[in-house]
Chains A and B, each alone.
Chain A
Amino acid sequence: MSIDISKIRTKLASQQGKAYWRSLDELADTEEFRHFMAQEFPNHVAPLESTLNRRDFMKLLGASLALAGLTSCVRPVKSSEKIIPYVRAPEQIVPGKPLFFATAITQGGYGVGLLAESHQGRPTKVEGNPDHPASLGATDATTQATVLTLYDPDRSQETLKQGQSQNWSDFVADLQSAFANLANGEGLYILTENVTSPTLAQQLNELATEFPATKWHQYDVMHGDNAYRGAELAFGEAAHTLYDFSKADVIVSLDADFLGEGPNKVRYSKDFARRRKVLGEEDDMNRLYLFETSPGITSPVADHKLALSPAKIAAFASTLASELGLSAATLDTEHEEFIAALVEDLEAHRGSSLIIAGENQPAEVHALAHAMNAELGNVGTTVLYTEAVDANPMHHGESLAGLVEAMQAGDVKALLIVGGNPVYNAPADLKFAEALGNVPFSAHLSLYFDETSTLTTWHIPQTHYLETWSDARAFDGTVSISQPLIAPFYGGKSAHEFLAAALGESEASSYEIVRQYWQNQVSGNFDGFWQQAVYKGAIDGTAAPRKELSLNENLPSLNVAEEAMVLNFKFDPNIQDGQHANNGWLQEIPKPITKIVWDNAAYVSLKDAENLKLSNGDLIQLSATEDLSITAPVWVLPGQAEGAITLSLGFGRSGAGKVGNSVGVNAYPLRMSENPWNTSVSVSKAGARHKLVTTQYHHDYEGTTERRHIFRHGTLAEFHAHPEHPEFVHPVEHHESDLYDVFEYDSYAWGMVIDMNVCTGCNACVTACQAENNIPIVGKHQVEVGREMHWIRVDTYYGGDPDNPEFYMQPVPCMHCEQAPCEPVCPVGATVHDTEGLNVMVYNRCVGTRYCSNNCPYKVRRYNFLQFAELTTNATELSLVHNPDVTVRSRGVMEKCSYCVQRIQQAYITSENEGRQIADGEVVTACQGACPMEAIVFGDINNPDSAVAKTKASKLNYALLEELNTRPRTTYLAKLTNPNSALAGEESGVHS
C-alpha cells in the first residue's frame, strides 16, 4: 500500500476553494492515506478532549499534511499573475522564512498601505507599510484582525440566486438578459461604497459610456458627509481637507476623535505623537483641547477636556468663533473663562494651531472650523486643502436617498450593489429594504451573505483584499496598487470583475483589469513602473495637488436646538460600522476605556444615571417616536456628556455569521438621514437586565490605586521645573538590594519601554500580538469568568473629577523581570530565564500548577483553562491564520508575552549568517510595530546607542512595582500633560 504524493499534488493544484477541500476530504478518507499518515506521524493521536470524530480528524490530518508539505506546489496566485515581494525576492522560497508583500486595505474607500506577511503562500499577519503616507509603518486594531476574516469559514462561498446555489456563468447570463431590456441603460442603477480606486472609477465611467442612462449612487456609512457639506458651506465648493499635526502646537478638537476614527487616523496618530514625545527637558509638547460627547481614543491624550452634548459643542464652537472675531453667535455662556483662555492660547499660536471638527458635528460647525483656521492663519501650515481624492465626491446620505426614491417610484429596473450593506446600515427612515422589493433585478457583491444579500436577487461572493488585485488612493491621494497574497480562498469575485461582467467581459481577471488601466496611464517603461509600484505599495507623486480656496463671505448661522436627551452614534472602535462583526478577535478586544467585550452598550453619564436611577447592565428603552425604539443595556461611563447617550454602531447583526450574529444591539433603526449622528430620544427603564462583560472591574484611580504609585504622571511644567529629579516619577525612594550576586548579562539584554505619555489605549498592540502569537479567543462567558488570553492588556484608570476624568492608559505585557517571581515557584522548571534576560515559557514542560500566575505581581500570565486554541472547533480553516513560528498552545498550559522571541530568533539567524551583531531596530515586537503612537520601544539595553537604552535613560523612566525588587525589563515613561496655566482647576478635566 503506498500513496503517490505527486498525484495528490497535481490533483490539489488544479483545484480551488470548495473543490480543494472536497478532494482533500476524499483523499483523507482512503485506506492508503490513513496508512501513510500512521507511518509518517505515528505519535499523532487524537487529543482526549477532541470533539472531532474520526472522519473529521483524518480530514484535519490530511489538511495539515497537504498544507504543510504540498503548498509549495499549490501556487498562491495564478502563475500568469506575477506578484512581487516587498523585501528582496529570494532565489527560491525558503521554508520557514516569511515573505512580505506590499498591499493596501481600504477604510471608508481610502487606501492604507500594508505589508502582508506570507508563510509559504499563506498570509498570517499584516504590518503597516512605512512607505505609505497613511500608515508610515503602523496599523490599527481593526486592520490587524482582517487576516482572520480571510480564513473565516462564514464568508460567502457560493454564488446564490434567491438562496439557490448557481454558477458565475448563470449570473452573467441572467445579468445580460436583464440588461437586454434596458435601452441605453435606462433603469440601471449602481450603488457603490466610497470609490477612490482609479481602475474602478474608470470601469464605472466605461459603464456610463456604454449605458449613458446609468445612474451611479454612492453610500458609504463611513463617509464624512458633514465634512463634505461643511466645506461646501464654507467655500461654496467641495474640498478635501488634510491636517498636518506635526506642525500644530495647539489643537482644538470639536468632537473629532481624530486618533481613533477615519482612514487617516494612523498617520495623524504618528504626527500627533511625535509632537508629544518627551524624554528630557529640551523636549516640548503640543497641547490638545478636546470637546467631546463620549470619551474616544483621543481622550487619554487630551490636556484639557470638556464633556459636552453635541448641541453644546456646537454652541461652544460658535462662541469660540465669535470670540476669535468672526461673525458668529455667542451661544455658550457657561464657559467664559475657558473660552477666554483658549482664545488667548490660539492667538498666541497663529499659524501653528489647528481646529478640527468631528463628523458628529453638523456641517455648520465644520464651516466654522474652516473659518477659524483661516482666521488663525493655519491654512497652508496645519490645514491643507487639496483636489478631490474621491472618484466622485458627493453627499452619500443624499445620494442614497435619491436612489431609494427612484426605487420606490419603480424607476430602478436593475440594481448592482458593489460591496456595502445598505439594508443593515442605511438610515432607518429611508426604508431601503422595503424599496428593494420594488427592484426586479438586483445583485449584491459582498464578503458575507449578509442582510442585503438575503434581499437581492443575486448574491456574488466577494474576494478579500488579500485575495485580489486592486488599487486605491490614500487620504492624501497617493495611489497604491494592492496585490493578492493568496488565490481566492473561497472563490469569489472582486469589484473589478463584477463590473467587468456588467461591461460584458465576464472572464476578465482583476489582474488584467488593473494592469490594463495603469498601462493606459503610464507612458514609457511600463514594466518598470509596475514592478516599482507593486513592490513599494505606493506610487510616488500621486498625492492630490493643493487647492486654493476662498471663504464665503457669510458664515452659515447655527441652529442649536436644546434636546432633553440625545442618542449619539459612534462607530465601534473594533468592528467599525459592523462590517467586521464576524471577526472574533475584534469582538473580544476590550473596548478602550470601558473594557467591554462582545457587546455594545448605551453609555450614560454619571449624572444622567443618577437622575434616571440606572446602573450598569440595566436595559433601557430608547424611543425616537412612539413606535420606534430599541432596547440597550446601560453602561455608566465617567466622562460621558450629560444629556447624551452614546451607542456604537455595528452590533445586533443578523447576517454577519456565526460569531457576529445577535451580538449587542443594533443602533441603526434609530439613525435618521436628517441628522445621522444624533437622534432625540426619550429614555425609560425596560425593567430587565443584560450581562455586560468587561475585562477590568476596578478603574478608580483615587485611593489605594494612587497610593500604590503604579501610574505616575505630572505636568510638563513640573518636569521642566525639576528635570533631573521629577518628584512625581519617584515619589518613594527605592533602594535595590539583593541577597545574591546579580547575574551579568554580557551579550544582548532585551528590554522595553512603554511611553504612557502617548498611549491612547487603541488596542492596535493587543490585536497585533494576537495575530503574531496565535492567541485564541475564548468567548463572552469565558471572559466573564476572567479567562481572556491577551498577552498584552491596557489597564485603564479614571482619575480626577468623575464627571470629566482623566484617563490613564497603561499597557501591561510581561515585564520580563530579572528576578522573576514566577520562576522559583514552578516545580517543573517550565518557566526559566535565558542569558539575554527573557523570561521564557517552556510549554511542553508545563504541567499547569498555575503557581507562576499567582505569584506574578503584574498578572500577565494567561492560562489555557480549556482547549481554547482551534483544536476542538470544526472551523479548521481558521487555524490557517496561525503563525507557524509560534507554538499553538494546548489546554492546561500557561502562556504569556515572550517579547516576540520568534522575531528575536529570526534576527539572530540573519545576523549570525552575516557575521554581525543584531542592529538596533532589527527586532521589532508585534505590539511595537503596530503602535500608531510609537509608544513602545524595544531593543538591546546593553547597547548604549539603542533607542531603548536612550529612552530608559530618561528621567521619566520608572519600573512598575519596583519596590518588589523584581527588576522588570519592561519599564514605563511617566505620563505628562501640558495644561494651559491659565486654566488651572476643576474645569480643565486634568489634574496633576
Chain B
Amino acid sequence: MASISGKPPFKETNRVIAKSETYASIDDTVNKPIEAAPTKTPLWWWIGFVMAAGLLGVYLVTITVLITRGIGIFGNNQPVAWGFPIINFVWWIGIGHAGTLISAALLLFRQPWRTSINRAAEAMTIFAVVCAGLYPILHLGRPWVFYWLAPYPNTFGLFPQFRSPLDWDLFAISTYASVSILFWYIGLVPDFATLRDRARNTFMQWFYALLSLGWNGSAKAWQRYMRAYLILAALSFPLVLSVHSTIAMDFAVGQLPGWNNTIMPPYFVAGAVFAGFAMVNILAIPLRKAFGLEKLITYRHIDNSSKLMLATGMIVVYGYAVELFMAWYSGVEFERYMAFNRVFGADHGWAFWLLIFCNLIAIQPLWSKRVRQNMTLVFIISIIVSVGMWLERYVIVVVTLTKDFLPGSWGDYVATFWDYSMYLGSFGLFFTLWFLFIRLLPSIATSEMKELQHHDSHHGSDYFEEQRAEEFSKKGLPV
C-alpha cells in the first residue's frame, strides 16, 4: 500500500482508466485494503479515524448540552432566528448533490468517467445528508417532537400544515436520503459478492454473503441488476434539481427582502453542485493517493469535476449579479437597502467580499488545464470553494435577517462556542462515517470498473481519446 507522501509507484494518466489495468488488478487494488486484517490497518487511517471520532465526541457533547439547556446556547436571537444550524444544514445538503449528479445523472448521460468516483461520491452524499438532516431537527425548540411535521394518524387529530416549506423540506430530505441509500446499496451488491468470494475467513464470508443478498453473477441477475440500477438512477436524477430547489423555497417563500426571489431555486441547485464537486475533489484527491488508486481515479476525473465546478461556480456568480441587479431594478426600498447592506454593510460586508473572492476569483485559475492537472492546486481551490459556499449561506441567512423591514428591530448576530462546536462536530460525524466506509467497503465500484476495463481493452479507445492523448503529450501532461 502506498503512503500518502512520496512519489506514486504509478504513472499518472488522463485516461478514465490506466491502460495496464486488468480484472484482477482492479479487484486487488480496490479490495486488498479492505481485506487487510485489523492489525494491518495503516497508521494514517487510525490517525484520521481517531481525529474524526474525537470531533464526533464534540458533536455528541454539543447535542447533549443543546437538549439539556435549549437552543439558546447558540447565537440565534430576534431578529436572527436562524443561524449556524440552518447555514450548516443548507451547506451539507448542497454537498450531497455532486454525489447524486455523478452517480445518477452522469450514468444516464453515459459518461464513463463517472465510474471510478461514483461509489465514493454516493457515500459522500449519504453522509452529508445524515449531517444535514440532523440540523433542522436539532435546531427546533423542542426537537423531541420533530415528528409532528410528519403526516401520521394521531390522537390530537392534527395534521401538518402543508403550505409551509419546512414541511416540504421534511419530504425532500427523507426522499433524498432513502433513494440515495437504496441506489448506493444496489450498486454495492455485486461488489459485496466479489468480497464474499475473495474472503478467506468464515466471518468475512458470512458478513459479505449477507450483504450481497445471494448474488450469483448469473446473466439473469446481471440483467435485473442493470435494470434496477437504471430505474433508480432515473428516480434520483430529478432529485438533483428538486431537493435543493425545495431547500431554496425555505427562503424564497418567505417575504423578507433578500429571500423572496424567484431565482433562488436554480441558483441554489447550481450552488449545491458547485459545492458538491468541491467536496468530491477534497475527498478523492487524498483517497486516490492514500489507497494507491491513481490508475482508477485518474487526472481525467479530477479535471472533469474541476470543469464542472468552474461552470456551476460561474452560474452561481451570475445568480449574485442578478440578485443585486433585481434589487436595484425593483425600486423597492427594502430590497435596495438589503442589497446595499449585504455589499457595504459595516457589520457583515466582509462576508460578501470574502464570498466573492472564494466563489468568483479563486475559481478563475481553473480555466487553465495546467491548474486542473495540479492536484495540490485543485485541492486548495476546492477548500476555498467550500468556504465560499458556506459564506454564501451565511450571507443569505444571517445578513438578511439582521436588517429587515423595521429599522427599530434590526439586530446583530454573533455565533457562540456551541455554534462552532456543532459545525466542527458534524465534520466528526461525516469523517467517522467516511473512514469506516473506506476501510470496510469498496470505495470504487469494482464491477463497473471491470466493465469499463473490458470495454477499454476489447473495443479500443475511440478517436477522441487518441486525439486527446496526442494533445496532452504535446503539452507535457500525463496521457
Contacts and interface: CB of A to CB of B under 8 A. Distances in A.
Given A49-B69, A786-B79, A824-B163, A847 B146 contact: yes
B404 interface: yes
A919 to B, nearest CB: 34
Interface centre among A704, A786, A850 (most CB of B within 10 A): A786
B340 to A, nearest CB: 8
A775 to B, nearest CB: 14
Contacts of B68: 48-49
A266 interface: no
A829 interface: yes
Contact of A785 (B77, B139, B159, B404): B77
B164 to A, nearest CB: 4
Contacts of B412: 697, 786
A827 B141 contact: no
Contacts of A49: 68-70
A892 B78 contact: no
A704 to B, nearest CB: 5
B167 interface: yes
B333 interface: yes
A825 B160 CA distance: 11
A542 to B, nearest CB: 45
Contacts of A855: 254-256
A828 B408 contact: no
Contact of A854 (B72, B167, B254, B406): B254
Interface string A700-717: 100011011010000000
A708 B142 CA distance: 36
B70 A865 contact: yes
A557 B409 CA distance: 50
Contact of B164 (A710, A782, A851): A851
A828 B161 contact: yes
Given A828-B149, A845-B158, A848-B71, A821 B407 contact: no
B408 A827 contact: no
B255 A821 contact: yes
A698 B408 contact: yes
A210 to B, nearest CB: 60
Contacts of A120: none
Contact of B148 (A828, A862, A864, A892): A828
Given A787-B72, A827-B166, A797 B408 contact: yes
Contact of A862 (B69, B78, B255): B78
B77 A787 contact: yes
A829 B404 CA distance: 24
A960 B406 CA distance: 9
A795 interface: yes
A796 interface: yes
Interface residues of B, number: 53
A857 B332 CA distance: 15
B325 interface: no
Nearest to A788: B78
B111 to A, nearest CB: 38
A832 to B, nearest CB: 8
B133 to A, nearest CB: 15
Nearest to B80: A786
Interface string A881-896: 0000000000111100
A22 interface: no
Contacts of A787: 72, 77-78
Interface in B235-262: 250, 253-256
A858 interface: yes
Contacts of A75: none
Contact of B81 (A812, A827, A863, A892): A863
Contacts of A950: none
B77 A848 contact: no
B414 interface: yes
A848 B141 contact: yes
A370 interface: no
B76 interface: yes
A859 interface: yes
A828 B407 contact: no
A826 interface: yes
A543 interface: no
A71 interface: no
A865 B333 contact: no
Contact of A964 (B79, B82, B145, B255): B255
Interface in B141-189: 141-142, 145-146, 148-149, 158-161, 163-167, 170
A345 to B, nearest CB: 34
A612 interface: no
Task: Give the interface centre of A857, A862, A964 by most chain B CB atoms within 10 Å.
Answer: A857
A552 interface: no
B349 interface: no
A786 B404 CA distance: 15
Given A845-B158, A855-B256, A827 B71 contact: no
Contact of A825 (B141, B166, B409): B166
B225 interface: no
A94 to B, nearest CB: 31
Contact of B409 (A845, A847, A859, A894): A859
B411 interface: yes
Given A785-B77, A785-B414, A891-B141, A48 B404 contact: no
B77 A854 contact: no
A341 interface: no
Nearest to A891: B70
Nearest to A789: B78
A857 B255 contact: yes
Contacts of A827: 149, 160-161, 164, 166-167, 170
A924 interface: no
A826 B164 contact: yes
Nearest to A786: B77
A696 interface: yes
Contacts of A700: 407
Contacts of A846: 141-142
Interface in A822-866: 824-829, 845-851, 853-855, 857-859, 861-866
Nearest to A892: B141
A666 interface: no
Contacts of B167: 827
A116 B215 CA distance: 81
A697 B78 contact: no
B81 A48 contact: no
Nearest to A783: B77
A850 B405 contact: no
A846 B80 CA distance: 18
Interface in A778-800: 782, 785-788, 793, 795-797
Interface in A946-967: 960-961, 964
Given A786-B80, A847-B148, A825 B142 contact: no
Contact of A861 (B69, B78, B161, B163): B78
Contacts of B411: 697, 786
B420 interface: no
A867 B75 CA distance: 16
A153 B443 CA distance: 65
Given A847-B148, A854-B401, A866 B165 contact: no
Contacts of B410: 697-698
A452 interface: no
B334 interface: yes
Contacts of B164: 824-827, 851
Contacts of A697: 410-412
B145 A853 contact: no
B337 interface: yes
A59 B58 CA distance: 36
Interface of A: 48-49, 696-700, 704-705, 707-708, 710, 782, 785-788, 793, 795-797, 810, 812, 821, 824-829, 845-851, 853-855, 857-859, 861-867, 891-894, 960-961, 964
Given A704-B407, A851-B166, 7 more contacts: A705-B407, A710-B406, A795-B409, A846-B142, A853-B81, A865-B72, A865-B76
| Across the A-B interface, the 3 shortest Cβ-Cβ residue pairs | A848-B141, A892-B141, A795-B408
